Amino acid sequence: MTLTQDAQVTKAAPATTTPRGQAQTSPQASLIVKGKDRPGIVAAVGAVLSDHGANIVSLDQYSDNPQGGAFFQRTVFSLANLRAVLPRIESDLTDRLSGSRDYDLEFTLRDLSAPKRVAIFASKSDHCLLDLLWRQRHGQLPITISMVISNHPDTAEEVRGFGIPFFHVPSAGPDKSAAEAEHLRLLKGNVDFVVLARYMQILSSDFIEQVGVPIINIHHSFLPAFIGAGPYAKAKARGVKLVGATAHYVTEDLDEGPIIEQDVVRVTHADTAADLQRRGADVERDVLSRAVEWHSQDRVIRHGNHTIVFA
């Protein structure tokens, strides 16, 4: 196996500047709470934040059954001295939500001023990859792209133009262990999640277990589904009336992980296979970018094999 790289992986500093002409705002944090529903959860969370002088900017909640079902809440709050106070808020939330007899809830707390770091995996198709790079460059995605990894060198020059490290890691044949070992070496400690931007390789169960961060995949989705090579030609032959895309988390069960986002567009008998592929690529870009944005903003809560999305 050979490995080529264009740059060393660097950890970007959190963005702290405010665009010219806009007023300086207090730093914000996200708080995700989930567990068994019962009275008083919202009040308990609000009380802890209020005790520390935090101002709640937005609050979304959902219960699948108010009588003891599953409860989910996303809160965004602002606080002038957020970084200094965040450890104390976390300690108080632990005592109030996880360490008391009243509640048995899980929660995650994160400073939103530090963008999540992402690695993008890609193959020869570049429409999803370049769309994510463009959106990140123009401030439409609150992420830091740590690297692009591809099993083909085709996109190296274009990725290099965005100033993003590019790693070519060949992955051919039935044994992917050497490639996956290199992937794990590159990713370790450098990313918070991985995006498969039309990466045409199947990840092993061992890799999924060892990578230790969420993985988001995008794929075309038709009714009926067309697997294997030439899906758009197969769709044209069946006279489909819709083409679409699905973004989901990767699990050991191929393409059966929790769904984050989906969309479709209508097509007609007059559309050629090339037309279907072009329109399908447009949907894939939009669906994947929304999934990445929502995940990076802590808007997606996994629950079993489905998700709650506060979009």
- 247 strand-pairing partners: 218, 261
Take residue 204 and report the two structure tokens written for it. Answer: 């092993």
And the tokens for 183? Answer: 């992937």
3-state secondary structure of 82: helix
State phi, psi for 209 to the nearest 5 degrees. -70, -40
Angle between helical axes of 273-296 and 231-238 (0-180°, round to 10):
120
255 an active-site residue?
yes
How is residue 128 written in tokens?
């999803």
- List Cα–Cα distances, 224 to 235, 256, 274, in angstroms: 8, 16, 19
Look at the chain and count its residues.
311
Q: Using DSSP, state whether 218 is helix, strand or coil.
A: strand
Strand-pair category, 300-303 with 306-309? antiparallel
267, two tokens: 């097509």
Name the one residue in this structure whose structure tokens are 């794990």.
184
Exposed, middle or buried by CB within 10 Å (0-12, 13-18, 19+), for 237?
Answer: exposed
Catalytic member of 6, 92, 126, 255: 255
Q: Is the preceding peptide bond at 27 cis, omega within 30 degrees of 0?
A: no
Among 224, 275, 103, which residue's Cα sits nearest to residue 283?
Answer: 275
The H or E element that residue 184 is part of is: helix 177-187
Active-site residues: which are they?
255
